[in-house]
Structure 1
Amino acid sequence: MTDIFSWSQDAGGIVTVTMDDPAQSANTMTDRFVEQLPRLLDRLEAARDGIAGVIVTSAKETFFAGGDLGLMMRTTEDDRPAVRAMLDGVKAALRRLELLGRPVVAAINGAALGGGYEIALACHHRVALDSRAVKVGLPEVTLGLLPGGGGTTRAVRMFGLQVALERILLSGRQFGAAEALEQGLVDELATGREAMLAAARRWIAANPDARQPWDRPGYRLPGGTPSSPALWATLPTLPALLRKKAQGAPNEAAQSLLSAAVEGAQVDFDNAQVIESRYCADLICGQVSANIIQAMFFDLQAIKRGASRPAGYPPHTAGKVVVLGAGMMGAGIAYVSAKAGLDVVLKDVSVEAAARGKSYSERLLDKAVAAGRTTPEQRTAVLARITPTADIADARGADLVIEAVFEDPALKKRVIAEVLPHLAGDAVVASNTSTLPITDLAGSVRDPGGFIGLHFFSPVDRMQLLEIVVGEKTSDQTLAKAVDIARQIGKTPIVVNDSRGFFTSRVILEFVNEAIALVGDGVPAASVEQAATQAGYPVGALALVDELTLTLARTIREQTRAGYRASGVETPVHPGWAVLDRMVDEFGRRGRSSGAGFYEYQDGRKAGLWPGLRDAFGGRNTGIPLVDMRERMLFAEALDAVRCLDSGVLRSVADANVGSILGIGFPVWTGGVLQYVNQYEGGPAGFVARARELAGRYGERFTPPPSLVARAQAGELFR
């Protein structure tokens, strides 16, 4: 029939349409799909009298992967009419499918996300495989978009406005098979492909007059329309909740999704689809969605596929890991390792200390069992893989060791040296340090080629990123093993070269230093925090430095200065340092763990900013524009990321963008720390001009590096 859609008809008149794009590993909404979908409907409508029903399925491992993100990335503001016409065309074809006059069943054999679930929603019934491979949902909002193939309109009419928005659309959740059935996103589960197709045929036979709920006489929107008294108490709160969640940061997708859903619920189905297309086209052609798609899809997928892994080495799977240190980081590393199937030896100075580290896994697993995310049997199996010990001999035969003790070079070298005699000959030896040079720590091992940095982020069980740090003598084989280990334990690996602070720790300190400098400039601390959250950071900078502790920030600073001084380099004094020193030395405020930092704390909880900040640092300067405050923080990180790229600390732009978002909370809407430069108004040239403006107002630290000036003059982007 076409090269994407194949057609088979059985003796009972049921047509099975199988999607199988020969040009792609997954079916997506490409130009060819958009062109061929109406031709499929032409044939179905022409053959309607001889058809009993239709099954829509896929020959791929996935059902349908969604929109063509590459195509979306290439759109500009001028493409809005064409994009809107494309969306309207897809919707028109899917509307013809649900109005065919014959029962239509989606047989979902794999992931049906975004456009894939929109196709399923246009069917009258949905049968899915009872498989871990099945994920359904409308996650477009997480990419700065909204469901534009009819998904917004149909979800609202199927589930009701409030349920659709809160549970499906604004959350962007992806539902596994069992939860999708429970929540009504699919109607049946089947074990095996043949059973799935058989279930589809049974439903067609039992429902010859199938129609969508919204096409039946007397249909009413579940839960009521926006003007219904039932929604008066809750619907008006959603805009405020969105603003609160975004904390003033750009949030176009969620706001547009809310508008499209509410406006569409007040009109007929066809006009609701038109409204949906308009909002979706605006997002597709905007800069924010392009930023997010580049970082959180293309860059992230490249990293997950092993873009930074040296070629020519066989796949590696670790079997037994020794974690040295059972504190918060060590306990978290032990948990994710055991959960991934590794045997874990959790070593500390006493069995009691090691057992306390294991109890962290017990608490996490207890919560997972209570929430139904795991079973008691799985909990028992994971815990059985963790052996708490004080005896280094228990490390015997391990092929991986991860040191996770205090940031003291001498201590780290000592505990690493103790474990080496007990390891397998080709073991990977790693340090979880966040700032100390890997090349120096490698001096504690006989073979520095087998030594590498594995910098985890806290809390380890929730933070997706793993920063792999390559020392001067780390071998490519060890790096390849480290990338494989990261993927084995479910982490996203970025690879950076050795330096003090590497990439993430170094750059995030520029963020907090700039916020602290604003306090020193006399800006009210509340305004500093507001500027950070309005820029899109997940928490205020002063709250973040309290979590890190002011003393740790100062220790890292002094270690870094001493290291550079030893090599003959004197680091410039940052204006934020004096504020930090006064907070610690003069006022005794060391951070949350000590109960006093930039914030006050009661029973470990924030109780407001410290009132003494106003007397200590002024706190009355309202002359610095909010945009300058926001951009001082953003530019401080972006400029240092450029310097990291110049010096070879960063190996790729993708590592910079993904690492900054997943590791240190750089605002997602920017697409990452280097994409922020690309997307700035005027591109890199506009960024350079603004950096020079900030340098003139606030200090030479904002002077753009020569490499960035040259890039701007050449009209080149970071790619």
Structure 2
Amino acid sequence: MNLTNFRFETDEQGVAVATWDMPGRSMNVITTEVGEELLLIIEEVAANAAIKGCVIASGKDSFSGGADLSMLENFGKEYAKLRKSKGEEEAASFFFEKARSLSLLYRRLETCGKPFAAAIQGSCLGGGFELALACHFRVMADDDKTRVGLPEIKVGLFPGAGGTQRIARLMPTGDALQMMFKGEQIRPQAAKGMGLVQALAKREDVVSAAKKWISDGGKGVQPWDDPKFRLPSGKVYSPAGMQIWPPANAIYRRETNDNYPAAKALLQSVFEGLQLPMDLALKVESRYFAHILRSKEAAAMIRTLFLSMGELNKGARRPASVPPISLKTIGVVGAGFMGAGIAYVSALAGLEVVLLDRTIEEAEKGKAHSHKLMTDQVMKGRAKTADRDALLARIAPSADYAVLGGCDLVIEAVFEDPKLKAEVIGKISSVIGKDCILASNTSTLPISGLGKAS
């Protein structure tokens, strides 16, 4: 096999390991080329009698961040060109096949007759987690950096490579819907308790644990392909089902006001899919996915939240005459809800923060917000006491505008009153240096008007 994105090796016991390690990238993502190589691996494992099964592992710190969204955007561009040259019918057929290609690939993996196991470490999200779900066994690194999840809803999409159908067959329907609607990232212990993975191991042992499962006789059959399989929450049209679906529909409408097509399509995919055999259910999911992928809402969210965000972070709109700067100390004026939150995330990012308010007591109260948030993280085991102490040491409460003189950036975050903001901006302007950036946290007042006070 001629592979660029994977390394493929087989040990003496006949257990293969496909190590996903894309060159030139810090994170594995799903591209057309990755799909083509994965199909080669699946067919090799299925056809080679000397291979018992295959472990899919990562050569990077994380398993996968999911699909390359620029690839999905390109599908839309190809569809538009084909529609113009060949007509809607041919373009729609092309787009549907493109949209379901990953779903078909994963279905081929789970029905090839040989066991596949996923060795998960770091982030395993979106289409990457859908790949793991198609594997017959999943072992997850039991550490703070490892997460699994399906966050597609956050970029205007929903899981379209079998995720809606496999998740809804692994756990109670209500839990499955909640997980996908929220786009949650699940920690190891919770993932095992929810049935998303079958085993946990130390990071350095995940591959060996996956190999052992295959060596010990792991079967290449998914639960939903067993004739005796029963849905965790029972049939859709049953007394139990009727306790799930009407409330789920009501919650969807309450939370979205019917403005998020992807959330509606997700709900419909699960509702219809759970009434069908797996292959037909996947086809239903693919039809909804193709429809959403072509929607203006998904296109706008992918562009704004992913593609344009990447360009923004790289400084694509930076004027050529303005060099990059490095912030070390920022000032936040106004220690209320917004100001305290800005101080927290800034200190969390490693910046020194001056938190200023009318009195030192009010400024201290704003700092206490960070203490509470970090204490919650400590109680949940997500941070250490030393982390909390270090963050709090980076926040300096004050009631003296003069301390803003050493800041690289000052953000005013006082109440949304134009007179108050103008007064505060004037005071800030009188003490900061000529190279300091003065910003406003306003959400309703024109920034041009506030700028006149500086």
Match for residue 501 of structure 1? 446
Q: CA deviation at 1:61?
A: 4.6
Q: Does 1:85 align with 2:86?
A: no
Equivalent-residue separation in structure 2 for 1:278 and 1:59 (angstroms):
34
Match for residue 162 of structure 1? 174
Equivalent-residue separation in structure 2 for 1:453 and 1:396 (angstroms):
12
Q: CA deviation at 1:226?
A: 0.3
| CA distance 1:295–1:53, shift in 2 (3 Å) | same
Match for residue 451 of structure 1? 436
Equivalent-residue separation in structure 1 for 2:173 and 2:439 (angstroms):
45
Q: Does 1:46 align with 2:47?
A: yes
Equivalent-residue separation in structure 1 for 2:397 and 2:60 (angstroms):
45
Kindly report which structure 2 residues correspond to 1:77-116, keeping only aligned pairs within 5 A, or say none.
78=88, 79-116=91-128
Which is further off, 170-179 or 38-47? 170-179
Equivalent-residue separation in structure 2 for 1:282 and 1:414 (angstroms):
54
Equivalent-residue separation in structure 2 for 1:281 and 1:402 (angstroms):
43
Equivalent-residue separation in structure 2 for 1:267 and 1:150 (angstroms):
14
| CA distance 1:5–1:370, shift in 2 (3 Å) | closer
Displaced runs of 4+ in structure 1, greater than 6 A? Answer: 392-397
Q: Does 1:149 align with 2:192?
A: no
SS in 1 for 2:437: strand
CA contact (8 A) 1:160 1:223 kept: yes
Equivalent-residue separation in structure 1 for 2:113 and 2:312 (angstroms):
46
| CA distance 1:451–1:66, shift in 2 (3 Å) | same
CA contact (8 A) 2:56 2:119 kept: yes
Q: CA deviation at 1:122?
A: 0.8
Match for residue 201 of structure 1? 211
Which is further off, 379-388 or 263-272? 379-388
Q: Does 1:362 align with 2:374?
A: no
| CA distance 1:203–1:305, shift in 2 (3 Å) | farther
1:307 corresponds to which of 309, 316, 328: 316
Equivalent-residue separation in structure 1 for 2:262 and 2:421 (angstroms):
45
The higher radius of gyration belongs to: 1
> 1:132-187, CA deviations, whole angstroms, 9 ceiling, x for partnerless residues?
554421222222222221112111111232221122x2222233445434443333
> 1:491-529, CA deviations, whole angstroms, 9 ceiling, x for partnerless residues?
xxxxxxxxx923xxx7xxxxxxxxxxxxxxxxxxxxxxx
Q: CA deviation at 1:117?
A: 0.9
| CA distance 1:10–1:227, shift in 2 (3 Å) | same
Q: CA deviation at 1:415?
A: 4.8
Equivalent-residue separation in structure 1 for 2:263 and 2:392 (angstroms):
40
Q: How large is the Cα RMSD of the aligned pairs?
A: 3.3
2:182 corresponds to which of 156, 171, 174: 171
Equivalent-residue separation in structure 2 for 1:453 and 1:229 (angstroms):
60
SS in 1 for 2:245: coil
Q: CA deviation at 1:8?
A: 0.4
> 1:32-79, CA deviations, whole angstroms, 9 ceiling, x for partnerless residues?
3343433322211111x2123211123345423333422332234743
1:233 corresponds to which of 243, 248, 258: 243
Kindly report which structure 2 residues correspond to 1:561-580, keeping only aligned pairs within 5 A, or say none.
none
Match for residue 350 of structure 2? 341
> 1:452-471, CA deviations, whole angstroms, 9 ceiling, x for partnerless residues?
2333368xxxxxxxxxxxxx
SS in 2 for 1:275: helix
CA contact (8 A) 1:323 1:330 kept: yes
Kindly report which structure 2 residues correspond to 1:517-536, keeping only aligned pairs within 5 A, or say none.
none
Match for residue 72 of structure 2? 72
Q: CA deviation at 1:14?
A: 0.9
How many positions carry a matched residue from both structures? 434
Match for residue 413 of structure 1? 426
Match for residue 651 of structure 1? none
Match for residue 199 of structure 2? 188
Equivalent-residue separation in structure 2 for 1:132 and 1:389 (angstroms):
35
CA contact (8 A) 2:136 2:219 kept: no
Q: Does 1:258 align with 2:270?
A: no
TM-score by length of 1: 0.54
CA contact (8 A) 2:401 2:427 kept: no
Q: CA deviation at 1:234?
A: 2.2
Q: CA deviation at 1:365?
A: 3.9
Q: CA deviation at 1:30?
A: 3.0
| CA distance 1:403–1:457, shift in 2 (3 Å) | closer
TM-score by length of 2: 0.83
